[in-house]
Amino acid sequence: MNNIFKDPRIKPEIQAGLEKIHFTKPTEVQEKVIPVLLTHKNAVVQAVTGSGKTHAYLVPVLNEIDTTKEYVQAIITAPSRELAEQLYQVARQLRDASGLNISIAHFAGGTDRERQLKKLENRKPQLVIATPGRLYDFVQKKNFAIDHVKAFIIDEADMTLDMGFLENIDYVAKRLPKDTLFAAFSATIPVKLSNFLRKYMDHPEQIVIGSKTIIAPTIKNDLIDIGSKNRKKILYQLLTMGQPYLALVFANTKQKVDELTEFLQNQGMKVAKIHGGITERQRKRTLREVENGQFQYVVATDLAARGLDINGVSLVINYEIPRDLEFVIHRIGRTGRNGLSGHAVTLIREEEMDRIEELEKMGLHFDFVEIKNGELVPRKHYHRRNNRKAKNHKIDTKLNGYVKKEKRKRKPGYKKKIKRAIQEDKMQKRKLEQRHEVRKAKRLRKRRRDRGR
């Protein structure tokens, strides 16, 4: 396959910039998405953070900008301040490496609105990176014109939906020129989201980056049943038995993060913490310090599970399982990035085994381990799990039957039968997934309604 980074439609400056930041080989999502966006075709891309999706849109977007025209030509949205900030830094890095004179602005809620407005008066940006709320605010007040926008990218679209920002996006999207290029990037594509996107995209290119990216194959994903043991003690053992380069411990609540941080600090460990109760400024400082290698341990809520790119995480510990199971995948995805090996350990009690089964259905594979003599070793006996395996076998007998028969005597059409059975199985799964999405959306709506009361 030709290297898409060398495509002659990409400006030589950007090609050189990519080389300068050592992006020589495109990732799968870049290989698939860049040519689509270069030909100005809308796209809905299912890809997780860590796949390289940011550059899959940044390259074509920067390429699109006419540096001689001083008006907004492209908009990228990200659902949280942190994500928008990170995206801004990444965009600046590629712009600077390319040496292109592109003006990029970063608008996010919570940041100084007046200062941003002042900047806007001085020079209109060519690329706007914004959270949906602030974007809506500026567009509504006509702080900048959007009638020359050529590309509109929604990053982390499912999170944008979950956070209730689609209305803001809708307001802006409706007012964009008819021929604007639309693209949405999302880890999952819930039904509600695809319905929304259909409003703006007529037959978009649907690109799914293989389910193998659910977690990187380089991650060893372990599971420990803590039984009646003390969870904190196990955490301490896990953190101290190897020498993790950087360990990220996830807990479900701010209180739990505070509690664990204090516990570990009392054991003499240098621990940083990240959660929503800490001011953004402090969070940023902590992230910088972590980045500089000042901490070996970070305890965090799911605020750090999505999007935030903390380099060098060698160990992720799920101290407890989050209510929303998808976050397990995001959490684990913080390690094993960029082809490096990673390790994740999830702590559970037996009664949570059903949730692990659900995760397995989503495509996660766990290795069952226990701590013995200060080491993690495969756990041999686990009755429930063994039973479960037997149960799973039963579910699959339909497929197994076809395969077995095929070995004994080759009936005509056996391949078709297997295919059909697999297809049916897949459809069933898809239906279940869709039902799950609809329920989740309903729950969210209800929660929002209740909150509004």
> Burial of 220 by CB count in 10 Å (0-12 exposed, 13-18 middle, 19+ buried)?
middle
* Nearer to ligand AMP among residue 49 and residue 296 (C-beta): 49
The reply to whether 51 sits near ligand AMP by the rule CB under 6 A is yes
Say how far apart CA 102 and CA 87 lie, in whole Å.
15
Question: Interface residues for ligand AMP in 293-322 (CB under 6 A)?
Answer: 309
Q: From 22-30, 36-44, 197-205, 375-383, give the range in contact with ligand AMP by CB under 6 A.
A: 22-30
> Least distance in Å: CB of 55 to ligand AMP?
5
Say how far apart CA 18 and CA 179 lie, in whole Å.
28
Measured in whole angstroms, the distance separating CA 251 from the mean position of its chain's CA atoms is 18
The reply to whether 31 sits near ligand AMP by the rule CB under 6 A is no
* Nearer to ligand AMP among residue 255 and residue 341 (C-beta): 341
The reply to whether 336 sits near ligand AMP by the rule CB under 6 A is no
The reply to whether 49 sits near ligand AMP by the rule CB under 6 A is yes
Q: From 19-27, 103-111, 352-360, 370-378, give the range in contact with ligand AMP by CB under 6 A.
A: 19-27
Number of residues that bind ligand AMP (CB under 6 A): 15
* Nearer to ligand AMP among residue 23 and residue 245 (C-beta): 23
Edge-first strand listing for the sheet containing 247-250 = 271-274, 297-300, 247-250, 315-318, 342-348, 219-225, 367-372, 375-378
Amino acid letter for position 187: A
To the nearest 10°, report the CA torsion of 76, 79, 84, 87.
-60
The reply to whether 186 sits near ligand AMP by the rule CB under 6 A is no
Please name the residues in contact with 322: beta carbons below 8 A apart, sequence gap of 6 or more.
250, 252, 302, 305, 328, 331
Say how far apart CA 238 and CA 234 lie, in whole Å.
6
CB 344 within 8 A of CB 219: yes
> What three-state secondary structure class fits 218?
coil
The reply to whether 338 sits near ligand AMP by the rule CB under 6 A is yes
Binding mask 55-84 for ligand AMP (x = CB under 6 A): x-----------------------------
The reply to whether 156 sits near ligand AMP by the rule CB under 6 A is no
One-character DSSP codes across 5-74:
GG-TTS-HHHHHHHHHTT--S--HHHHHHHHHHHTT--EEEE--TTSSHHHHHHHHHHHH--TT--S--E
Binding residue for ligand AMP, selected from 15, 42, 54, 63, defined by CB under 6 A: 54
* Nearer to ligand AMP among residue 298 and residue 308 (C-beta): 308
> Least distance in Å: CB of 29 to ligand AMP?
8
Place of tokens 């090609």: 15
* Nearer to ligand AMP among residue 32 and residue 192 (C-beta): 32
The reply to whether 93 sits near ligand AMP by the rule CB under 6 A is no
Binding residue for ligand AMP, selected from 23, 263, 366, 382, defined by CB under 6 A: 23
The reply to whether 50 sits near ligand AMP by the rule CB under 6 A is yes
Distances (CA, A) of 225 to 218, 273, 344: 23, 25, 14
> Least distance in Å: CB of 429 to ligand AMP?
26
Positions touching ligand AMP (CB under 6 A) are: 23, 25-27, 30, 49-55, 309, 337-338
